[in-house]
Amino acid sequence: MNETKVPSVSPTLTHLDENGQVRMVDVGDKAATARCAIAQGQVHLSPHAWRLLSARDNAKGEVLNTARVAGILAAKRCAELIPLCHSLPLSFVGVEFSADDARHVLTIRSTCRTTHQTGVEMEAMTACTVAALTVYDMCKAADKGIVIDQVRLVYKSGGKSGEWRHD
């Protein structure tokens, strides 16, 4: 696991003021720059639920398309869900899926882009998480033990801290 180290990142919690009180970060003086964030997570299904999700004659496309739309909508509403997030004009939200048939794992990867004064990491992670929850919701009748895990930021670019990658 390699992480690109970013110089001059504040070691403090930016959403707390000097008295430890919660605050929204003031980005008013920051320059608007192109920003991108990519998040990834996994959904682990039982063999039975995986077969139902993967069957050519079932609505696999509808499960994944529904999860894709849910993820996109969630990114657009991130500021309504996470109390201190800024509302952002998103220029792009994408949600992609890749399947590991041997392990019965669906990997979800979400990408968000904007040109703004703050990053889109939370939007990307929200899109990924809600897409995973939608897969769970649509498959839970076949498997209540579905596991969602490893939701994390894998890439971000733009802003003062520049590029960061989780490899």
Rounded Cα distance, 73 and 82, in Å: 14
Q: Find the range with the poorest average confidence among 14-18, 65-69, 97-101.
A: 14-18
Rounded Cα distance, 57 and 83, in Å: 42
Q: Is-catalytic flag, 137?
A: yes
pLDDT surpassing 60 at residue 9: no
Contacts of 31 (CB under 8 A, 6+ apart): 117
Are the CB atoms for 146 and 67 separated by under 8 Å? no
Active site residue: 17, 26, 137, 143, which one?
A: 137
Per-residue model confidence (pLDDT) at position 86 = 86
- On average, the pLDDT of the chain sits at 87
The second-level CATH assignment, the architecture, of 33-165 is 2-Layer Sandwich (3.30)
Q: Please report, for residues 52, 53, 62, the alpha-carbon distance to residue 57 in angstroms, rounded to integers and kept in the order given.
A: 9, 10, 12
Confidence at 3, pLDDT banded by 50, 70, 90: low
